[in-house]
Amino acid sequence: MNTFGNRFRLTTFGESHGPAIGGVIDGCPAGLAVDYVLLEAEMTRRHVGAHATTRHESDNVEFLSGIYDGKTLGTPIAFIIRNSDARSSDYDALDKLLRPGHADFTTLQRYGIRDPRGGGRASGRETAVRVAAGAIAKMILNGKGIGITAMASCGTPAENDSIGGTIECTIEGVPAGLGNPIFDKLNARLAAAMMSIPSAIGFEMGTGFDAAQMQGSEFRDNWCVSDGHVATTTNHCGGIQGGISNGMPITFRTAFHPVVTIPQPTECLAPDHTLTTVTPAGRHDRCHLPRTVVVVEAMAALTIVDFVV
Amino acid sequence: MNTFGNRFRLTTFGESHGPAIGGVIDGCPAGLAVDYVLLEAEMTRRHVGAHATTRHESDNVEFLSGIYDGKTLGTPIAFIIRNSDARSSDYDALDKLLRPGHADFTTLQRYGIRDPRGGGRASGRETAVRVAAGAIAKMILNGKGIGITAMASCGTPAENDSIGGTIECTIEGVPAGLGNPIFDKLNARLAAAMMSIPSAIGFEMGTGFDAAQMQGSEFRDNWCVSDGHVATTTNHCGGIQGGISNGMPITFRTAFHPVVTIPQPTECLAPDHTLTTVTPAGRHDRCHLPRTVVVVEAMAALTIVDFVV
Amino acid sequence: MNTFGNRFRLTTFGESHGPAIGGVIDGCPAGLAVDYVLLEAEMTRRHVGAHATTRHESDNVEFLSGIYDGKTLGTPIAFIIRNSDARSSDYDALDKLLRPGHADFTTLQRYGIRDPRGGGRASGRETAVRVAAGAIAKMILNGKGIGITAMASCGTPAENDSIGGTIECTIEGVPAGLGNPIFDKLNARLAAAMMSIPSAIGFEMGTGFDAAQMQGSEFRDNWCVSDGHVATTTNHCGGIQGGISNGMPITFRTAFHPVVTIPQPTECLAPDHTLTTVTPAGRHDRCHLPRTVVVVEAMAALTIVDFVV
Amino acid sequence: MNTFGNRFRLTTFGESHGPAIGGVIDGCPAGLAVDYVLLEAEMTRRHVGAHATTRHESDNVEFLSGIYDGKTLGTPIAFIIRNSDARSSDYDALDKLLRPGHADFTTLQRYGIRDPRGGGRASGRETAVRVAAGAIAKMILNGKGIGITAMASCGTPAENDSIGGTIECTIEGVPAGLGNPIFDKLNARLAAAMMSIPSAIGFEMGTGFDAAQMQGSEFRDNWCVSDGHVATTTNHCGGIQGGISNGMPITFRTAFHPVVTIPQPTECLAPDHTLTTVTPAGRHDRCHLPRTVVVVEAMAALTIVDFVV
């Protein structure tokens, strides 16, 4: 389903070339003053970036409910972002064709029907909704002294090609005791949140995959108590033990594969299951990582806020 | 909450040194013939292993409901595994102490109270319940031609120390079209499932973290059609695109950190927040990976079955 | 939360005097041809009625997503209904005052804040969203031969007063076997659905409260088999046994209390907990039953469709 | 599904003639002292009653997890009640036959298979699990000053026949502000809870069906303020307005149809869809209302506790 979270619950909707994309937040506490400047700043962070697309999306967030006199009412907060400047003619040639590496084929297998314009529901454009909702979540977290910062690391995209990368994220100020044992572990939630971002292909907490080659004596985060405050000397586990936060900074890293639409001849699958070669002309990022940093932060915020409201 | 899955739903319970651990499966289709031989074999796989503990757990699964005349009724399947041979005296010295790297401290922060005997709810023993339920899930999947195999890779544990490792898993026979776009992606579900296993610290689909350094032209899985059957020439994405299976084998890898209880002097946290050094005497694996292979398969089975019942 | 259903899931939002009310339907099957004529007809049924309000709400349903080329995509269907013609000045006098019999006081207790204009989220206007979503549900049910009809029964409202009534509903064409045992009984779901409608105060299946005074020999619905088709000679239980449909028509009745805003002097609660007498001037129904018939049908449709998609 | 509640979540299992029935409570707060005397008293209240069955069920509740040293751990509380004294030979004649008025036929339609012994999952015996869990819920509510009392009203059962009745329930001490607007109204939850009890056929809040014939001026619960405390002069609505408690006692009434198994010739449906007349010999209540009072209280407790934990 298109819903994220249990207590602070975001339901999203929208195809990239339909009338609008948007979301409904259910469970936002009443009385929160909406910080429109922060919201605008977050939307802009997603919008622009070093290697980012030149498509000028008007990511104007229009609120329809749940806010009165600048404050949240506790009722659902619905918002929409109109789709404009959508030159769907760019995609016309691809309309019936299923691109390799995209969700075109799997969407058709799943639903038997698809909106062929620009990726439809599976377009990266849907992440704008995550960023808007994430901004609301950040407003709540900021009020509790919880801060989230992410940073991208990626190579230089080759000529007419794209490149992947990783995004590292740190959440500071999370009190010890957040999360659940067994299935609904905080790290399991973060993993699901990150892997739900388009192009995500790997996730690790703390030292992550390197820990697979460490010995217990090396990996173990030992206690360090000063002035009655409990901490650990190292943070190999990334701030979560047994699925529950231990009060240390929560750290994790997400790997993203490169954008698969590149301006090179591409064999697409036609409805009759023959292959046709086209060279994509649409506006696509060569490296989406700079734009994705704020999406990672948004999903982290939506994950954490669900445990604190 | 202690529930996994939406349609095929497993709820688990039990502390390692209480009367029993167990689970309730809700949503298992009616009319399934229970394969007790498969169940027993799976329980044994978890029980023994090259480097495994010498504790003789009697992992006898006792069914209490949902099965009549060897077939499932469609009603909840409850089962328990009695705890026996629990030499809790091994743990007595540690009773009030909070071990580093464990869930002791975080559990106490979360609940304000804890069962100090052998890890309580956070003990690795709870994975026996996952394996039992996973066996039921496998029976359903087998009937649909879906097979799951995992394989561990780990170094040699040092003298008086432990070692981590990775487990690779392949799911074959999953038809194209399974999973959901946006949040509830099949890869997001698998990530959460794997990260919920004790000691899991990293997860990657297909080429995973290596994809972060690949170019689009290199990473992209191109089409290959033969006799009308659609496949891809490579499988870098690991069989899932846009959150939905594409019909190729689903492949992923999970990293596990080493067991943190080792027979070396260990500084534990006392209730008064002082540190006390003890040397653990309990029976602990030096490398839990061999035992965890079947747990990975069980969680994969529980994840996939939720989409096919 | 503001969500109804598990598989065909409606999330609603909106205050009566905010920019818009609306909903998001998640789980609607792909490929359904949207019948705009039926939708318009249902919206009109809610809009007008013998004793209905004279407020001319422009209940124009604007779809934002999930539909392409007249057919559903399987993705979330979002729709909004703009609020217009909202003479909020009618309510100004009441802005700070808490009316008796309304949700004003309880909303304030629940959230500590409220939108004072015309009932806000608790306004009967939100039922327009239920009707729009119910129309989509009916399109699916119609395709499966399931029909829903409701009928109101109410007295004549007195001069400057209002009157309650009951609405009887019959669902025909439901196959035997729908519903669940124990908690999630089909009758329990219908009860919750009906009791969620503003002013609902009672619910009964089949013979309902009269059954409390019947003997077993009298109440029992005996079998009657003709041409291999199983039916019952009577339908005292209202078509559901053990929480599961038995193939007979599903019948139930919902009681509604009278509208509590009447054009008579009314003691309202002021913020300082004193009482102030005002005489409401807003446009309110004297009997809302004629308008509510289609709401009952919509909620019945949303309840049933959740079991058949 | 066989789960009730969102935050304080009860999952039940068990067939009446299988090894055991039982439940798992997830979400019970940690640190609650378990009052075994109250638990035992509640189980006894369900067990005996003026017109009750003579079957001596050993309703001994065995806890398997979630409790240590007499206190809840915050982890799942699993408990089982062994089935004993089950003279299934009483039912042998009926094994293949589908009784009128029971869930036999609908269960078979739903699952295609059923446990024929004594009602299986649909037996009234499952209510013992509700009572046990309800007792835990009451322990929490008692600590918050919330009390629940129910009272049955039924006629005299005729010779060789059964009789229905109503149960009135009052919940005192619920603070104003509990519940949710729109779908998840407190009254909708109570309705679903009550209608989920075997034989329930009607539900009403406050004045209920009588309100259908009242005028607004008559029905409206007017304010009455004394010493700053807000109350209403009447309580026609039954303590809930707009889905949210208003601080007045919550009152509702549930109607139950008579037991349908009576010691009279009964036409049952055979697998070949012919009718066969048998005269039931099993031990069945002639009026189950006295036994059901504590079940009503238990379901009310489970409903309310879900909003306060």
Q: Closest approach of chain B CAs to the CA of A187, in angstroms?
A: 7
Distance CA B79, CA B57 (A): 16
* Average of per-residue pLDDT across C269-285: 85
Query: Would you say C268 and C98 are in contact if contact means Cβ atoms under 8 Å apart?
Result: yes
Flag if A211 and B261 touch (Cβ within 8 Å). Answer: no
Query: Would you say C184 and B9 are in contact if contact means Cβ atoms under 8 Å apart?
Result: no
Amino acid C104 reads D
Distance CA A9, CA A26 (A): 5
Residue B98 has pLDDT above 60, yes or no: yes
Using DSSP's 3-state secondary structure scheme, residue C43 falls into: helix
Flag if A120 and C73 touch (Cβ within 8 Å). Answer: yes
Residues of A in contact with C9 (CB under 8 A): 1, 3
Give the start-end residues of each E strand in chain D.
Answer: 3-4, 9-13, 20-26, 61-63, 67-68, 71-72, 77-82, 147-154, 165-172, 200-205, 223-226, 229-232, 240-241, 244-245, 250-256, 266-269, 275-278
Q: Closest approach of chain B CAs to the CA of A69, in angstroms?
A: 32
Pairing of strands C20-26, C77-82: antiparallel
Tell whether C186 is covered by a domain.
Answer: yes
Block residue for tokens 């208003």: D246
Chain B interface with D: residues with Cβ < 8 Å: 1-3, 9, 11-15, 18-22, 24, 26-27, 30-31, 62-66, 68, 71, 73-78, 80, 110-115, 120-121
Flag if B202 and A201 touch (Cβ within 8 Å). Answer: no
- Pick from A102, A164, A207: CB nearest B211: A164
pLDDT, tens digit, 9 for 90 and up, residues A22-39: 999 999 999 999 999 999
In Å, how far are B84, B99, B107, B117, B270 from B93, measured between CA atoms? 20, 11, 19, 10, 11
Query: Would you say C301 and C293 are in contact if contact means Cβ atoms under 8 Å apart?
Result: no
Flag if C65 and A14 touch (Cβ within 8 Å). Answer: yes
Record the tokens describing residue C52, joined without a space: 């209905």
Tell whether C35 is covered by a domain.
Answer: no
Pairing of strands A20-26, A77-82: antiparallel
Residues of B in contact with D73 (CB under 8 A): 15, 111, 113-115, 120-121
Which residue is closest to C1 within chain A, CA to CA?
A26
Residue A85 has pLDDT above 80, yes or no: no
Q: How confident is the model at residue A75 (pLDDT cuts 50, 70, 90)?
A: very high
Domain that holds residue B14: 3-308
Distance CA B92, CA B88 (A): 7
CA dihedral (C135, C138, C143, C149) in degrees, to 10, reads: -130
Residues of B in contact with D26 (CB under 8 A): 1-3, 11
Record the tokens describing residue A157, joined without a space: 């995209």
Which residue of A16, A21, A24 to mutate against C (max C Cβ within 10 Å)? A24
Using DSSP's 3-state secondary structure scheme, residue D261 falls into: coil
pLDDT, tens digit, 9 for 90 and up, residues D274-303: 999 999 876 677 899 999 999 999 999 999
Q: How confident is the model at residue B51 (pLDDT cuts 50, 70, 90)?
A: very low
**What letter does residue D137 receive in the DSSP assignment?**
H
Residues of A in contact with B273 (CB under 8 A): 225, 228, 230
Residues above pLDDT 90, as percent of chain A: 84
- Pick from C208, C242, C256: CB nearest D107: C242
Residue A88 has pLDDT above 60, yes or no: no
Amino acid D7 reads R
pLDDT reported for residue A157: 84
* Average of per-residue pLDDT across A215-224: 97
* Average of per-residue pLDDT across D53-69: 79
Domain count, chain A: 1
Q: Closest approach of chain B CAs to the CA of A89, in angstroms?
A: 23
Query: Would you say D115 and D121 are in contact if contact means Cβ atoms under 8 Å apart?
Result: yes
Tell whether C121 is covered by a domain.
Answer: yes
Cβ neighbours for C174, distance < 8 A, ≥ 6 positions apart: C146, C239, C245, C247, C249, C250, C304
Residue A295 has pLDDT above 90, yes or no: yes
CA A45-A50-A53 angle, 5° bins: 80
Q: How confident is the model at residue C96 (pLDDT cuts 50, 70, 90)?
A: confident
Distance CA A78, CA C78 (A): 11
Using DSSP's 3-state secondary structure scheme, residue C117 falls into: coil
Query: Would you say C75 and C63 are in contact if contact means Cβ atoms under 8 Å apart?
Result: no
Query: Would you say D2 and C182 are in contact if contact means Cβ atoms under 8 Å apart?
Result: yes
Flag if A275 and B230 touch (Cβ within 8 Å). Answer: no
**CB D92: neighbour CB atoms within 10 A?**
12
Which residue is closest to B165 within chain A, CA to CA?
A212
Smallest CA-to-CA distance from D138 within D4, D8, D288 is with D8
pLDDT, tens digit, 9 for 90 and up, residues D221-278: 999 998 889 999 999 999 999 999 999 999 999 999 999 999 999 999 998 889 999 9
Flag if A196 and B217 touch (Cβ within 8 Å). Answer: no
Q: Closest approach of chain C CAs to the CA of D130, in angstroms?
A: 10
ipTM over 0.85: yes
Residues of C in contact with D257 (CB under 8 A): 207, 211-212, 214, 219, 236-237
CATH number of the domain enclosing B199: 3.60.150.10
Flag if B214 and A257 touch (Cβ within 8 Å). Answer: yes
Residues above pLDDT 70, as percent of chain D: 93
Query: Would you say A75 and D181 are in contact if contact means Cβ atoms under 8 Å apart?
Result: yes
Flag if B219 and A257 touch (Cβ within 8 Å). Answer: yes
Three-state SS string over chain B comes to CCEECCCCEEEEECCCCCCEEEEEEECCCCCCECCHHHHHHHHHHHHCCCCCCCCCCCCCEEECCCEECCEECCCCEEEEEECCCCCCHHHHCCCCCECCCCCHHHHHHHHCCCCCCCCHHHCHHHHHHHHHHHHHHHHHHHCCCCEEEEEEEECCCCCCCCECEEEEEEEECCCCCCECCCCCCHHHHHHHHHHCCCCEEEEEECCHHHHHHCEHHHHCCCEEEECCEEEECCCCCCCEECCEECCCCEEEEEEECCCCCCCCCEEEECCCCCEEEECCCCCCCCCCHHHHHHHHHHHHHHHHHHHHC
Block residue for tokens 């007008």: C48
* Average of per-residue pLDDT across C22-32: 98
Flag if D188 and C196 touch (Cβ within 8 Å). Answer: yes
Record the tokens describing residue B245, joined without a space: 């299976």
Tell whether D52 is covered by a domain.
Answer: no
Flag if C195 and D187 touch (Cβ within 8 Å). Answer: yes
- Pick from B15, B26, B73: CB nearest D3: B26
Tell whether C223 is covered by a domain.
Answer: yes
pLDDT reported for residue D59: 78
The mean pLDDT of chain B is 93
CA B47-B49-B53 angle, 5° bins: 70
Q: How confident is the model at residue A287 (pLDDT cuts 50, 70, 90)?
A: very high
Which residue is closest to D111 within chain C, CA to CA?
C177
The whole model's pTM is what? 0.96
Distance CA B193, CA B301 (A): 10
